[in-house]
Amino acid sequence: MTRPDQRTVLVVDDEPAHRLMVRAVLEDAGWTVADAASGDKALALLGKVQPHVALVDMKMPGMDGLTLLRELHARMPGLPVVLLTAFGSVGSAVDAMKQGAFDYLTKPADNEELKAVLEKSYEYRRLIEENARLRAERTGENGGIIGASPGIARVRELIEQVGPSEATVLILGESGTGKELVADGLHRASARSRKPLIKVNCAALPADLLESELFGYVKGAFTGAVKDKPGRFQLAAGGTLLLDEIGDIPAQLQAKLLRALQEKTVEPLGGVKSVETDVRILAATNRDLRADVAAGRFREDLFYRLAVLEIPIPPLRERLEDLPLLTGHLLRKLGKKNHKEIRTVSPAFLEALTRHTWPGNVRELENVLERALILARSDTFGLDLLPPQLAGLVSEQADAAPGETHNALPAALGHAMDDAERETLVRALGTYAGHRENTADALGISRRTLQYKLKKYGLTKR
């Protein structure tokens, strides 16, 4: 088996001389090479190696490159496959790209081009895996935006309406409200969902590094640039690029970003040629960009290029009715993460949550719940597990006596109090005009669980 720190490429070609040449070039560039003379032998290798990239000849006896492409994707979803094709068969390679190939090269491939394409495909896969991991951490087991309040229902409606379009979207919301979750939803709802969603935090990097991260650079552009590096615009080709914290992008980069959006091209650092791009742009910010435009801190033309459509996310203090749902969802997620289960939550604990203003929004709620989970010595949450500033919002006498605690994680709703559960069900049914399938989806439960809850609270006639 290959070590996780190795970059492994699977080379499949029926020509021994070409395989040897490719092996020499790639091993010299630091790759670990596993090669096979046929599609069948390549598939047999998968039990022994875990390639990060595959380089496959289109025309081979027996299983051809297109068939092998489908087999590789069936066994290793997300594996970038680069095709090698004769000059006269470029049309076939383009067709193969429509079926999921990452890129193609004509034989004999230029050594530098070969290394550059494989480097780009490796970086693409690394980013996809990183984004998948982060998304799983942030969204929990069932993903999406949790809540049944009118504000969240409107956000879901906008995602459904706007997602399939190619329009640039500006996602607005305070820190911790879930702007990245909205971006995930827009990408999943689009025709680009099978291509990458690449995210860039514009506030996390200084101007020079952010420029090279967005647009890439060519070999020799600056000290240490020993090879070409594609930017995030290129890595997101065919997919979606999220420019997070766009309000913090340096002024000197705003003009270059505007040009990239208008002309759909980027110019790598140190390069002399523009590179065409095919990406959908999403932007997110917790700033008031209109105020920044008025103050001269943000370009007006860039703002209107980004804000073709806007999706505002309400802060948690404006949707406190979602707290029981969010609490249950987060406790399930955090319980799995920390190998600990909390079965009951006292009414006073929940009351304290509803009296807090939550300046940090859902992210703050998650931190509070994780702290309580770690400190808990039993399977019950009481006021003693809250930070002092939250615990002081209700009296200790309000905490539950034995037998008055409520299940924090019933079936799938995650409600702790029956009245809160019933109120949320009524609100969700009203939001979705009594449509039970849509209501169940919004609440993150099965239709069977919804039917049980409706019967429990006498809502079956609605």
DSSP-derived secondary structure for 160-209: HHHTTS---EEEE--TTS-HHHHHHHHHHTSTTTTS-EEEEETTSS-HHH
Which CATH number does the domain housing residue 232 bear? 3.40.50.300
Q: Are residues 301 and 346 in the same domain?
A: no
Q: What is the pLDDT of residue 225?
A: 75
Phi, psi of 116 (to 5 degrees): -65, -45
Q: Are residues 322 and 307 in the same domain?
A: no
pLDDT in tens, 173-204: 999 999 999 999 999 999 898 889 999 999 98
Q: Are residues 383 and 350 in the same domain?
A: yes
Between the alpha carbon of residue 229 and those of residues 38, 170, 213, 263, 421, the distances in Å are 32, 28, 9, 21, 52
Q: Let me know if residue 264 belongs to a domain.
A: yes
pLDDT in tens, 226-251: 788 888 999 998 999 999 999 999 98
**Per the omega criterion (within 30 degrees of 0), is the bond before 312 cis?**
no
Q: Let me know if residue 205 belongs to a domain.
A: yes
Q: Are residues 300 and 389 in the same domain?
A: no
Which CATH number does the domain housing residue 403 bear? 1.10.8.60
Q: Identify which of 200, 229, 199, 231 has the alpha carbon closest to the alpha carbon of residue 215.
A: 231
Distance between CA atoms of residues 311 and 426, nearest Å: 25
- For 217-270, give the DSSP string: B-TTSSTT--S-B--HHHHTTTSEEEEETGGGS-HHHHHHHHHHHHHSEE--BT
Which CATH number does the domain housing residue 88 bear? 3.40.50.2300
Element (H, E) at 293: helix 289-294
The owner of tokens 């190998």 is 339
Q: Which long-range contacts (CB under 8 A, 24 or more apart) does 148-151 make?
A: 148/321, 148/322, 148/325, 148/424, 148/427, 148/428, 148/431, 148/442, 148/443, 149/314, 149/319, 149/321, 149/322, 149/427, 150/427, 150/431, 151/313, 151/314, 151/318, 151/319
Q: What is the pLDDT of residue 138?
A: 46
Q: What is the pLDDT of residue 369?
A: 93
Q: What is the pLDDT of residue 356?
A: 92
Q: What is the pLDDT of residue 408?
A: 42
Q: What is the pLDDT of residue 143?
A: 47
Q: Are residues 309 and 325 in the same domain?
A: no
Q: Are residues 153 and 270 in the same domain?
A: yes
Crossing angle for the helix pair 16-28 and 111-139, to the nearest 10 degrees: 70
Q: What is the pLDDT of residue 139?
A: 42
Q: Are residues 203 and 88 in the same domain?
A: no
Expressed as residue numbers, the domain containing 161 is: 140-314
Between the alpha carbon of residue 158 and those of residues 162, 294, 313, 432, the distances in Å are 6, 27, 11, 14
Q: Let me know if residue 153 belongs to a domain.
A: yes
Largest CA distance in the chain: 82
User: Given the DSSP bridges, would you call strands 406-407 and 344-345 parallel, antiparallel or unpaired?
Assistant: antiparallel
Q: Let me know if residue 434 belongs to a domain.
A: no
- Examine the fold and report which residue of 272, 295, 314 is the final residue of a domain before the chain moves on: 314
Q: Let me know if residue 453 belongs to a domain.
A: no
pLDDT in tens, 375-404: 988 877 888 889 988 888 776 545 544 434
Q: For the chain, what is the domain count?
A: 3
Q: Let me know if residue 42 belongs to a domain.
A: yes
Mean pLDDT by 10 residues, the chain (462 residues): 64 92 92 93 84 91 89 82 76 71 85 91 78 48 69 90 93 95 93 91 88 87 78 91 95 92 90 87 96 95 95 94 85 85 76 91 94 86 87 63 41 42 71 75 70 77 53
CB 239 within 8 A of CB 191: no
Q: What is the pLDDT of residue 302?
A: 96
Q: Identify which of 423, 441, 439 has the alpha carbon closest to the alpha carbon of residue 431.
A: 439
pLDDT in tens, 130-141: 665 554 444 433
Q: What is the pLDDT of residue 222?
A: 77
CA 27 to centroid of chain Cα atoms: 33
Q: Are residues 263 and 159 in the same domain?
A: yes
Q: What is the pLDDT of residue 413?
A: 34
Q: Are residues 351 and 263 in the same domain?
A: no
